[in-house]
Amino acid sequence: MSARSAPARLHAAELPDADVVRRVLAGEAELYALLVERHQAVLYRHAVGMVSNPDAAADLVQESLVKGYTSLDSCQDPARFGAWVFRILRNRSLDYLKDRRRKNLSLEEGALDVPSLDDPAGDLDRAEVARAVSAALEALPAPQREAFLLKHVEGHSYEEMAEMLESSVSALKMRVMRAREALQAMLSPGEHGTEEL
């Protein structure tokens, strides 16, 4: 970055997303880095929750942000850039899960691809609970898992979720309720020795 563009970027850092998007579309491509900085962490947290694989999540976020840049002119409401790029990530994550499910179904055992939590020196019970929770989350249908993570892990309101997922509040409340019920059934004390959610 040239010395002349440093003050312009500093000033742009204070601009809302809509203005940054407009300037990127007007030719100041380097300002897209500001949008990446603002939204990357939230996207990554969601991707990790969805795919349960930090490396795959990082790749999905990177792909989504690149797709966001290459199709930025199709962002109809630049003020909602965050929700728009979130939907790109969501679609990529769901595609990833479908591909992984197809691969898992082709295996003889058909087991879920849950990363192990090897912790020989740590608390074995805690590792077992973490594995059980991870496996239970992965066993949920993707729409339920996504709604549960957005509500109870990321702390979004139902209204925010409705905008991000382009769904109704009532449908999302139902998904979260069903996810909670399914998780409680899978993680009941009789099953895995875990406490109620």
Task: Give the HSE-up count for residue 175: Cα atoms under 13 Å, Cβ half-sphere.
Answer: 23
Residue 191 domain boundaries: 117-197
pLDDT in tens, 60-81: 999 999 999 999 999 999 999 9
Give the CATH number of the domain where residue 174 resides.
Answer: 1.10.10.10
The answer on 182 and 123 residing in a single domain is yes
d(CA 68, CA 39): 12
Q: How far apart are CA 179 and CA 83, in angstroms?
A: 23
CA distance 3 to 1: 7
Query: Is 83:186 a contact under the CB 8 Å cutoff?
Result: no
Domain check: are 36 and 79 in the same one?
yes
Is residue 1 in a domain?
Answer: no
Is 27 among the domain residues?
yes
Q: Are residues 35 and 109 in the same domain?
A: yes
Evaluate if residue 58 carries a pLDDT over 50: yes
For helices 32-51 and 81-105, the axis angle rounded to 10 degrees is 40
Q: How confident is the model at residue 8 (pLDDT cuts 50, 70, 90)?
A: low
Over its C-alpha atoms, the chain yields an Rg (Å, rounded) of 20
Question: Both 96 and 164 in a single domain?
Answer: no
Q: Is the pLDDT of residue 151 over 50?
A: yes
pLDDT at 119 over 90: no
Same domain (yes/no): 92, 179: no
Average of per-residue pLDDT values in the chain:
80
Last residue of a domain, one of 64, 86, 113: 113
- Same domain flag for 109 and 19: yes
Of the pLDDT bands very low, low, confident and very high (cuts 50, 70, 90), residue 131 is confident
Residue 40 has pLDDT above 90, yes or no: yes
| Last residue of one domain, picked from the residues 113, 144, 167 | 113
Non-local CB neighbours of 88 within 8 Å, separated by 6+ positions: 64, 67, 68
Q: Kindly report the CATH number assigned to the domain that includes residue 64.
A: 1.10.1740.10
pTM over 0.95: no
Q: Does some domain include residue 166?
A: yes
- Clarify whether residues 104 and 23 are in a common domain: yes
137: its two tokens: 């989350």
- Alpha helices in 28-116, H assignment, sequence order: 32-51, 54-70, 81-105
Do 187 and 150 share a structural domain?
A: yes
- Domain count of the fold of the chain: 2
Domain shared by 50 and 75, yes or no:
yes
For residue 10, is it within any domain? no
State which amino acid sits at residue 19: D
| Residue written as token pair 């729409």 | 143
Alpha-helix residue ranges (DSSP H) falling in 71-168: 81-105, 124-139, 142-148, 158-165
Q: Cα(57)–Cα(49) distance, rounded to whole angstroms?
A: 9
Look at residues 59, 83, 113 and tell me which one is the last residue of a structural domain: 113
